[in-house]
Structure 1
Amino acid sequence: MSAPSPGPGSSLAGPRANPPRERAYVLTLGVLGVLLLVSVTAGLAIGSVHVPPGEVWSIVAHGLGADWSEPAWSRARETIILDVRAPRVLLGAVIGAGLAVVGTAMQALVRNPLAEPYLLGVSSGASLGAVIVIVSGVSLFGAVSLSVSAFAGALLTLLLVYTTARAGGRITSVRLVLSGVAVAAVLSAVTHLLLLTADRGNQTREVLAWTMGGLGGVQWATLWLPAATLLVGIGVLLVQARSLNLLLAGEEAATTMGLDVGRFRARMFVLLSLVTGVLVAAAGPIGFVGLMLPHIVRFFVGGDHRRVLPTAALAGAVFLIWADIAARTVAAPMEIPVGVLTALCGGPFFLWLMRRDARRNTDRGVA
């Protein structure tokens, strides 16, 4: 597989002055910003109880203390907007943005357009941690026990993958990916074994719902961790955007330009795995967001990561908010796991991406 294309108007160390590309970038950010505002409004307004957009923002303003007038809405609607839908919509924005950003960086690190956030098996470790809590019924941390256990599973998986990938004091990206695949297979087998030996039959349904991803049940008290993790992750990646650009030229060229490729990749893999672990612990493994959005974004803003990262974050937030709206409404009153809808979108996209990459490689071979 070839590496993600840097895109027109970009260079490896950073783009030269390119007014058309800069205008396209600013326009894309502006459009996505408006779409994000519209998406948040729709996420707060649409549901079993429809609330007009004007009333939605009146309730939000009142809840923030910006509106001291007498409420013209019922207490039930205020609870629905502020305590039920608002945390869910914000979590969708955070998870979508985080997965898109991690996927963007992961594709650059392994120079493979099919790379995605769960490449190193972190989601399998998180799933095993969550299954252990569901099957055993142990709740040492109260309401957040499942999230804590999922993150612990993701962290332990990361350590195991790095331990098995290290040879001679060095870690190569190939060994790291292969170790991630092998560890993920073993952890998935253990997860299935726990389900087969579970005493309660309804546990299988609960585990299945979690492993397909969802944004339901989130509370304000648990929202701060994925939000803070996203901000830190995006900040670090933006600082390292030039190094990510250098990797697009290949390891030898990046080394010639002064980048310690091995050490840089190791640090980035740790960061991305930790961010992914927090995101999976908060919402379960929601697939294909980190695969699709980076490619769609590069089509509009080029390949420079200083542009791609913030644009991918906005696009991922918009996409997952609307996916969650569809999950809540398509089969109402039943709720579809949002991971099912992202897979329905991402599966065909994945096949198209493979065919496109195969055609490009064939053309290069003929040339």
Structure 2
Amino acid sequence: MRSSVDALSEDTNQAVESNPAADSARPAPERVSPRERRVSYPVVLVLLGAALMVAVVVGLAVGSVSLPPTDVVAILGQQVFPGWIDPGWPATYDTILLDVRLPRVLLAGIVGAGLSAVGTALQALVRNPLADPFLLGISSGASLGAVTLLVTGATVLGTLATPMVAAFAGSMVTLAAVYALASSGGRMTTTRLVLAGVALSYVLSALTDLLLSTASDPHLMASIRFWRLGSVAGTEWQTLPIPAIVVLVGLAVLLWQSGSLNLLLAGEESAGTLGLDVHRFRTGMFVLVSLMTGVMVAVSGAIGFVGLMVPHAVRMLVGADHRRVLPTATLLGATFLILADLAARTVAAPQEIQLGVLTALCGGPFFVWLLRRQTRREKADR
């Protein structure tokens, strides 16, 4: 027998999108889309897992020096099973793949998975389909915190840990401010949420630009400007452990709390009736998504729209149940960002396009389409 979440996933998802300010939702007759009938959840996971592996191999093989995919697989196999494979490839292949491309591809996958999970959680927490770390200004707040310390030269906790702590603080303060500005009488609308996020994002971006314009080191200013637009270029192995641990732990917590995220789909009053302390739960989740966003911004810069596009694409495949959405979104998000980074370093080679620019080119039209659909649904409900 299907659970109540499975039975009402389609209707509650529409209720969230059509009326995000509502505090309760009436059960509606079950409607299962044709796509949900055709594609089963295990099949979706298998296909996305295979797509992720293919994206990793392609991302490692393609570049200024092309490597045969068979050699890529053989080199990776040699690291797992030393001596089992005869190294018949040039020695430079090991350096290119293991020291240059592999850390970059792994970080792109980690950040893509993390941004997708954060976007999924935010859309449930604020009950708004337009929620995204970039659109709500969280990424801008994290950028301001990290840039402030980089410009001032503070290194209390080390060159990597300090920007991460500052980015977390900036993202946390920004998220609290956006939520406070968008809420009125305990209710929140799509318009207020978007306007509050965009307004704060512009203000924080202006403050960041002000700091950059007053920076005395031109090399630091140039590197920070490139980092602000989003990039995983120059990633080294020592950069990976902290974001990998934070994203994995954060994803585990979100999966553990997926049932509570599902309860919020039906409204705050319904969730409270079922035993969820909405205020306490939402506060804890805000801290978690701020931490994840701050860490990812500290290592890759502000990469927008991934957390907006991926959750919506995933819900079309597996429905609104977060027990399914979160794992699927992480796979699709990792695959998407790996391929986007591949395009960033190959489309205009030998020049490299900033990763955040490419995701914005994809996400901007998607946001316009989503906003128009949201507006039509709100008018239809009046």
Normalising by the smaller structure, the TM-score range is: 0.7 to 0.9
Q: How much has 1:99 moved relative to structure 2?
A: 0.4
Pair 1:30–1:76, CA change in 2 (3 A):
same
Pair 1:243–1:49, CA change in 2 (3 A):
same
SS of alignment partner, residue 6 of structure 1: helix
Counterpart AA for 2:168? L
Counterpart AA for 2:366? F
Please name the residue that 1:72 is paired with. Answer: 88
Please name the residue that 1:150 is paired with. Answer: 163
Asked whether the 8 Å contact 2:141–2:173 carries over to 1, the reply is: no
Please name the residue that 2:337 is paired with. Answer: 320
Asked whether the 8 Å contact 1:96–1:316 carries over to 2, the reply is: yes
> Which has the higher mean CA deviation after the structures are superposed, 315-324 or 272-281?
272-281
Q: How much has 1:9 moved relative to structure 2?
A: 10
Quote the Cα distance in structure 2 between the aligned partners of 1:33 and 1:62.
22
Quote the Cα distance in structure 1 between the aligned partners of 2:263 and 2:38.
20
Q: How much has 1:269 moved relative to structure 2?
A: 0.6
Which of 217, 235, 251 is 1:234 aligned to?
Answer: 251
Q: How many residues align?
A: 352
Counterpart AA for 1:340? V
Counterpart AA for 2:365? P
> Which has the higher mean CA deviation after the structures are superposed, 178-187 or 335-344?
178-187
Q: How much has 1:141 moved relative to structure 2?
A: 6.3
Asked whether the 8 Å contact 1:21–1:301 carries over to 2, the reply is: no
Asked whether the 8 Å contact 1:32–1:314 carries over to 2, the reply is: yes
Please name the residue that 1:59 is paired with. Answer: 75
Asked whether the 8 Å contact 1:120–1:273 carries over to 2, the reply is: no
Asked whether the 8 Å contact 1:329–1:335 carries over to 2, the reply is: yes
Please name the residue that 2:139 is paired with. Answer: 123
Asked whether the 8 Å contact 1:63–1:82 carries over to 2, the reply is: no
Counterpart AA for 1:93? G
Q: How much has 1:195 moved relative to structure 2?
A: 1.9
Counterpart AA for 2:87? P
Quote the Cα distance in structure 2 between the aligned partners of 1:250 and 1:33.
33
Q: How much has 1:252 moved relative to structure 2?
A: 1.0
Please name the residue that 1:40 is paired with. Answer: 56
> Is residue 277 from structure 1 mapped to residue 322 from structure 2 by the alignment?
no
Asked whether the 8 Å contact 2:122–2:132 carries over to 1, the reply is: yes
SS of alignment partner, residue 276 of structure 2: coil
Counterpart AA for 2:297? V
Pair 1:65–1:140, CA change in 2 (3 A):
farther
Asked whether the 8 Å contact 2:142–2:297 carries over to 1, the reply is: yes
SS of alignment partner, residue 42 of structure 2: helix
Asked whether the 8 Å contact 2:142–2:171 carries over to 1, the reply is: no
Q: How much has 1:63 moved relative to structure 2?
A: 2.2
Q: How much has 1:266 moved relative to structure 2?
A: 0.5
| Aligned 1:1-367 pairs, distance under 5 A | 6-7=9-10, 24-118=40-134, 121-132=137-148, 134-136=150-152, 145=159, 147-158=160-171, 160-161=173-174, 187-365=204-382
Gaps of 5+ in 2: 1-7, 15-24
Counterpart AA for 1:88? R
Q: How much has 1:61 moved relative to structure 2?
A: 1.2
Quote the Cα distance in structure 1 between the aligned partners of 2:202 and 2:74.
50
Q: Deviations over 1:267-319 (max 9, x none)?
A: 11111111111111111111000000000000011010001000000000110
Quote the Cα distance in structure 2 between the aligned partners of 1:349 and 1:214.
21
> Which has the higher mean CA deviation after the structures are superposed, 230-239 or 305-314?
230-239
Quote the Cα distance in structure 2 between the aligned partners of 1:172 and 1:102.
23
Quote the Cα distance in structure 1 between the aligned partners of 2:371 and 2:197.
21
Q: How much has 1:222 moved relative to structure 2?
A: 1.8
Asked whether the 8 Å contact 2:318–2:324 carries over to 1, the reply is: yes
Q: How much has 1:245 moved relative to structure 2?
A: 0.8
Pair 1:250–1:266, CA change in 2 (3 A):
same
Asked whether the 8 Å contact 1:120–1:158 carries over to 2, the reply is: no
